[in-house]
């Protein structure tokens, strides 16, 4: 009999990435797959674009806010409606297991799974669980974490550090193809700068303020976010992109250094590919502080350097880049000695044994 799995997660690209890494493997193994997300969240665009053949079911969901909003009074009712929506889908699909990557849309799904007595695995990317996963923990059968220190704050009997689940296609990059696409050559190292899906104004400004000095040392791939390409800065050795999709594995293969935000999925991808990195996490004002904790963990293990956004200016940026370059070999040595994360095959085995 064909096994069935239901994936959920959304609200941001980070709450979908692990799902998109696992789905092809479950497809290859012959599982029937369904996805539950919100009606207008980013997860709908990602899943329907990458897997148009997989049924996408939308449910009602409220946003889990840490600040005052009048919607905080109505959203609990939307969450309860989402539980009934999800329960109806679960009873029709009859999954053997549910895998949740988190985000607010996953909460009613996990609650409904408990009612339907379906095993639920949740995956937490950050050092400290997000609010959605905190709410989901009592309903989960098993909790997989990315950082080893996260397990300490979760029920020990059902928590396991699996590491990050890395998309297999990232290991298929061809450096020579990346250089062909960019027109870059071998004399100078390649620096990739990425500020997240929307870009990062302060990072972009620091890069462009130091551009001439940077170009003496590097060839640059600058992923600067939608609407942030500056056509007046077009010059040899500096290529700007709003975002990179299919060619990303080739570009990463040829990259020598990375400057990035500190979202968990991204930094673990750089770690798996052994790319020395300078992390500029989102400030506490702009986030719940999870990226700062992620960056601190990587610094502690010797995988990365950190520059706080509050301390970011042209001078501090250039000083950090020079330090990154000087510490390249040491960082790679630490990465070589680090604990190995679960592979997609390992995670598949874990989830298979959980299914009813």
Order of strands, sheet of 190-194, starting from the edge strand that comes earlier in the sequence: 238-241, 219-223, 190-194, 257-260, 277-279, 304-306
User: Minimum mean pLDDT among 124-138, 146-160, 258-272, 277-291: which range?
Assistant: 277-291
- pLDDT higher than threshold 80 for residue 257: yes
- Left, alpha or beta for 6 (phi > 0: left; psi -120 to 50: alpha)? beta
* Tokens standing for residue 240: 């700007």
200: confidence class by pLDDT, cuts 50, 70, 90:
confident
- pLDDT higher than threshold 90 for residue 40: no
User: Minimum mean pLDDT among 11-15, 149-153, 284-288: which range?
Assistant: 284-288
Across the range 48-56, mean pLDDT stands at 97
Query: Would you state the pLDDT for residue 66?
Result: 53
347: confidence class by pLDDT, cuts 50, 70, 90:
very high
Which parts of the chain fold into alpha helices (H)? Answer: 17-28, 42-50, 71-93, 106-116, 131-136, 175-182, 201-209, 211-215, 248-254, 264-272, 290-300, 314-326, 328-337, 344-354
Query: Would you state the pLDDT for residue 282?
Result: 87
Across the range 16-27, mean pLDDT stands at 94
pLDDT tens, position by position, 154-163: 999 999 999 8
Residue that wins the pLDDT comparison between 200 and 10: 10
Domains of the chain by range and CATH? 4-165+341-354 (3.40.50.2000), 169-337 (3.40.50.2000)
227: confidence class by pLDDT, cuts 50, 70, 90:
confident
Q: What is the residue-averaged pLDDT of the chain? A: 91
- pLDDT higher than threshold 60 for residue 127: yes
User: Minimum mean pLDDT among 79-83, 170-174, 269-273: which range?
Assistant: 79-83
Could you give the count of Cα atoms lying within 13 Å of 62 in the half-sphere of its Cβ? 18
Percent of the chain with pLDDT over 70: 94
Give the residue carrying structure tokens 């990739």: 192
Query: Would you state the pLDDT for residue 129?
Result: 87
Across the range 35-40, mean pLDDT stands at 93
With both helix axes pointing from N to C terminus, report the angle between 17-28 and 344-354 in degrees, rounded to the nearest 10: 70
pLDDT tens, position by position, 130-145: 888 899 999 999 999 9
Do the Cβ atoms of 43 and 23 come closer than 8 Å? no
Measured CA to CA, the distance from residue 354 to residue 162 in angstroms comes to 15
Residue 224, number of CB atoms within 10 A of its CB? 23
Across the range 336-350, mean pLDDT stands at 90
- pLDDT higher than threshold 70 for residue 72: no
- pLDDT higher than threshold 70 for residue 74: no
- pLDDT higher than threshold 70 for residue 24: yes
Query: Would you state the pLDDT for residue 196?
Result: 66
Query: Would you state the pLDDT for residue 73?
Result: 47
- pLDDT higher than threshold 60 for residue 197: no
């Amino acid at each position: 009999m064909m096994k069935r799995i239901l994936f959920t997660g959304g609200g941001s690209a980070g709450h979908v990435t692990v799902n998109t890494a696992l789905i092809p493997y479950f497809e290859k193994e012959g599982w029937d797959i369904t996805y539950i997300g919100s009606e207008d969240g980013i997860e709908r665009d990602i899943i329907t674009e990458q897997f148009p053949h997989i049924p996408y079911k939308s449910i009602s969901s409220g946003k889990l806010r840490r600040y005052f909003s009048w919607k905080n009074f109505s959203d609990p009712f939307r969450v309860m409606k989402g539980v009934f929506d999800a329960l109806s889908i679960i009873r029709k699909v009859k999954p053997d297991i549910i895998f949740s990557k988190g985000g607010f849309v996953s909460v009613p799904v996990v609650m409904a799974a408990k009612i339907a007595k379906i095993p639920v695995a949740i995956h937490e990317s950050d050092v400290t669980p997000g609010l959605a996963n905190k709410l989901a923990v009592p309903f989960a059968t098993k909790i997989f974490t990315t950082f080893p220190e996260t397990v300490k704050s979760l029920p020990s009997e059902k928590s396991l550090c699996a590491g990050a689940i890395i998309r297999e296609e990232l290991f298929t990059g061809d450096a020579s193809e990346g250089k062909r696409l960019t027109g870059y050559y071998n004399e100078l190292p390649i620096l990739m700068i990425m500020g997240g899906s929307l870009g990062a104004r302060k990072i972009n400004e620091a890069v462009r303020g130091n551009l001439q000095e940077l170009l003496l040392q590097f060839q640059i791939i600058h992923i600067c976010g939608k609407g942030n390409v500056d056509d007046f800065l077009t010059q040899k050795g500096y290529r700007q992109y709003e975002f990179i999709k299919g060619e990303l594995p080739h570009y990463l293969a040829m990259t020598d250094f990375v400057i990035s935000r500190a979202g968990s999925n991204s930094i673990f991808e750089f770690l798996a590919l052994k790319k020395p990195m300078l992390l500029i996490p989102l400030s506490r004002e702009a986030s719940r502080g999870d990226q700062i904790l992620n960056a601190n963990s990587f610094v502690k293990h010797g995988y990365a350097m950190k520059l706080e956004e509050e301390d970011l200016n042209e001078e501090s940026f250039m000083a950090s880049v020079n330090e990154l370059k000087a510490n390249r070999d040491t960082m790679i040595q630490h990465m070589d000695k680090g604990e190995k994360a679960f592979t997609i095959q390992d995670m598949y085995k874990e989830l298979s044994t959980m299914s009813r």
